[in-house]
């Protein structure tokens, strides 16, 4: 069996949840576990985060998987339902839904449900992705309130620039001005993603929705997760399976993208883009071998990549390699590759063995 694996640390997930609760002590926690829990395994992560108040997922199959696994917490569909059949299933399984367009309201108005359903009504406060504009929002709320099978309505938005400037001030003011007329309804408020939790305590509201911070990656550009006391939940690791020595002027890998300017020992790592490592990773992307930091060289292949072992004398066949994890921040790899940690974590391939530890 190839030595590549993704180790998922339950203790790291629980530690990161404690960081969430420290920052938002008075809010309920809705753990975002969409995209197979950001590549970490939906059910594994849900068990590790059993102390949360709710889980947010993307589609109904994820919600039903959580219910079938025995989770009783609030479960929220972040894009709502896409058909009347899904609405019936959501209501039957006590799954909350986001409502972000008029068609979804029409489904609720026309449906015959066996039991009531909780709604999270989404406002488009500036991202221009999903949600009702401020001008449409109150009318949408009133239509939902008139539906006899709608139970609670949570007021919700999502900030486009919580992780960078200009921040959330304008969007938050737009949201607060719009919902001022709804204060007497005592509706709960859900605003804060990971970056908002860490940077804007005034926007924590009644529910917070941590995502990337639960997995130990940074939600704030150019800021390491460790500065927020977050711990990597995934260690993506493998081993050296061959060692080559390059003379000056020799190259390694497809396209001769790296040519040695000194005698160079090259470790061949059992990991490639078919495992989820980015093919476009440039020379110099951080990687750890035998517990020491080094860099990748050459073009990533489907099943292999290359690490510079020249200054790591003990390294050889069988030496441990960390692509990202506790020693190599996934955000540092992402920065080198011109992307974000979210993408790398979500892209780990199904063929990689996943193991849950501690």
Asked whether residue 35 falls in the same domain as residue 111, the answer is yes
CA proximity to 245, closest of 299, 141, 294, 315: 315
Domain final position from 166, 192, 217: 217
Are 187 and 247 within one domain?
A: no
Residues of the chain below pLDDT 70: none
What CATH number does the domain containing 181 carry? 3.20.20.10
Where a domain ends, among 150, 183, 217? 217
- Residue 309 in any domain: the answer is yes
Please report, for residues 82, 119, 149, 178, the alpha-carbon distance to residue 140 in angstroms, rounded to integers and kept in the order given. 18, 12, 15, 12
Q: Is 279:310 a contact under the CB 8 Å cutoff?
A: no
* Position 228 in a domain: no
Residue whose structure tokens are 């959330």: 168
Q: Which residues pair with 289 in a beta bridge?
A: 292, 321
64 and 192 co-located in one domain: yes
**212 and 242 fall within a common domain:** no
Domain of 342 in residue numbering reads as 234-357
206 and 271 share a domain?
Answer: no
* Domain shared by 35 and 137, yes or no: yes
pLDDT reported for residue 156: 98
pLDDT at 15: 98
Any idea what DSSP says for residue 30?
Answer: E
Task: Tell me: do 173 and 244 sit in the same domain.
Answer: no
Q: Is there a domain that residue 147 lies in?
A: yes
Confidence at residue 53, expressed as pLDDT on a 0 to 100 scale: 98
> Has residue 226 been placed in a domain?
no
Angle between helices 84-92 and 60-68 (to 10 degrees): 20
CB 39 within 8 A of CB 348: yes
The pLDDT tens digits of the residues spanning 12-33 come to 999 999 999 999 999 999 999 9
Residue 3 within a domain: no
- Distance, CA of 319 to CA of 244 (rounded, Å): 14
Which residues, 6 or more positions from 316, have their beta carbon under 8 angstroms from its beta carbon?
240, 243, 267, 309
- Classified as helix, coil or strand, 68 is helix
Helix (H) or strand (E) holding 210: none
- In this structure, the dihedral spanned by the alpha carbons of residues 350, 41, 60 and 96, taken in order and rounded to 10 degrees, is -160
The reply to whether 134 and 17 lie within a common domain is yes
Residues belonging to the active site? 34, 254
Q: 38 and 165: one domain?
A: yes
Structural tokens at position 269? 């790592």
Total structural domains in the chain? Answer: 2
Structure tokens at 136: 């449409």
Last residue of a domain, one of 217, 247, 279: 217
């Amino acid at each position: 069996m190839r030595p590549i694996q993704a180790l998922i640390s339950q203790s790291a997930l629980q530690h990161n949840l404690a960081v969430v609760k420290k920052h938002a002590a008075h809010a309920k926690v809705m753990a975002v576990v969409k995209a197979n829990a950001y590549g970490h395994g939906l059910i594994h992560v849900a068990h590790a985060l059993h102390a949360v108040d709710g889980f947010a997922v993307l589609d109904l199959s994820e919600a039903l998987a959580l219910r079938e696994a025995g989770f009783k917490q609030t479960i929220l569909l972040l894009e709502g339902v896409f058909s009347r059949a899904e609405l019936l299933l959501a209501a039957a399984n006590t799954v909350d839904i986001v409502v972000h367009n008029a068609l979804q309201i029409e489904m609720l108005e026309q449906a015959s449900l066996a039991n009531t359903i909780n709604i999270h009504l989404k406002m488009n406060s500036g991202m221009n992705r999903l949600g009702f504009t401020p001008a449409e929002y109150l009318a949408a709320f009133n239509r939902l309130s008139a539906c006899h099978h709608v139970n609670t309505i949570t007021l919700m938005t999502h900030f486009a620039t919580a992780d960078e400037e200009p921040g959330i001030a304008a969007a938050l003011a737009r949201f607060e001005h719009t919902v001022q007329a709804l204060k007497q309804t005592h509706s709960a408020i859900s605003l804060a993603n990971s970056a908002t939790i860490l940077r804007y305590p005034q926007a924590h509201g009644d529910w917070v929705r941590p995502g990337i911070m639960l997995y130990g990656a940074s939600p704030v550009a150019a800021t390491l997760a460790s500065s927020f006391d977050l711990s990597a939940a995934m260690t993506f690791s493998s081993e050296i399976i061959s060692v080559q020595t390059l003379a000056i002027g020799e190259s390694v890998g497809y396209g001769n993208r790296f040519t040695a300017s000194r005698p160079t020992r090259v470790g061949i790592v059992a990991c490639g883009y078919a495992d989820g490592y980015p093919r476009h990773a440039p020379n110099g992307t951080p990687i750890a071998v035998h517990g020491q930091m080094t860099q990748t060289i050459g073009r990533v292949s489907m099943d292999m990549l290359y690490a510079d072992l020249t200054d790591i004398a003990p390294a050889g066949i069988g030496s441990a390699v960390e692509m990202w994890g506790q020693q190599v921040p996934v955000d540092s790899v992402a920065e080198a590759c011109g992307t974000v940690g979210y993408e790398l974590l979500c892209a780990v391939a199904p063929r990689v063995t996943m193991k849950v530890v501690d």
